Amino acid sequence: MTSAISGITAAMSGMSGMAGLTGIGDIAGTAGITAPGTTQSASGADFASILAGTVDQLQSAHSTADNLAAQAATGDLQDVSDYMIASQEASLATETVVTLKNSAVSAFTEIMRMSV
């Protein structure tokens, strides 16, 4: 399980190192780039740091869900809804990160395909 997540993290850090990403916010109408454009205007932060923040929270959401699942296995879980909510949060966080990664990758390939 950790191998898949660390693979995404490695991809993220690899992308944030690329100089081309910082210029994405300036390009408005290119298909598939609307997501980065809105996040930059909303918070003013760098797109790569937003992704990195979501990835950090992802790890803690996963470990919370893992601990509660272990408690459910041994029967020590106090409240069923605790585990169900933590599991849904982890799942939604994973899907958010994966969707962002996929959008970023497709945006990058789109840019690379542009003839100068």
Quote the least distance from Cβ 6 to another protein, whole Å.
10
If binding is defined by CB under 8 A, does position 80 make contact with another protein? yes
Quote the least distance from Cβ 93 to another protein, whole Å.
10
If binding is defined by CB under 8 A, does position 94 make contact with another protein? yes
If binding is defined by CB under 8 A, does position 5 make contact with another protein? yes
Number of residues that bind another protein (CB under 8 A): 32
51 and 11 Cβ atoms separated by less than 8 Å: no
If binding is defined by CB under 8 A, does position 75 make contact with another protein? yes
Q: Which of 65, 45, 47 is nearest to 5 (CA)?
A: 65
33 and 27 Cβ atoms separated by less than 8 Å: yes
If binding is defined by CB under 8 A, does position 8 make contact with another protein? yes
The correct pick among 12, 24, 33, 90 for binding another protein (CB under 8 A) is 90
Residues 6+ away with beta carbon under 8 Å from 10: none
In the bound state with another protein, the residue whose beta carbon lies nearer, of 49 and 95, is 95
The correct pick among 64, 66, 110, 111 for binding another protein (CB under 8 A) is 66
Residues 6+ away with beta carbon under 8 Å from 44: none
> Hey, which bits of the chain come out as E strands?
none
What span, in angstroms and rounded, lies between the C-alpha atoms of 66 and 68?
A: 5
If binding is defined by CB under 8 A, does position 78 make contact with another protein? yes
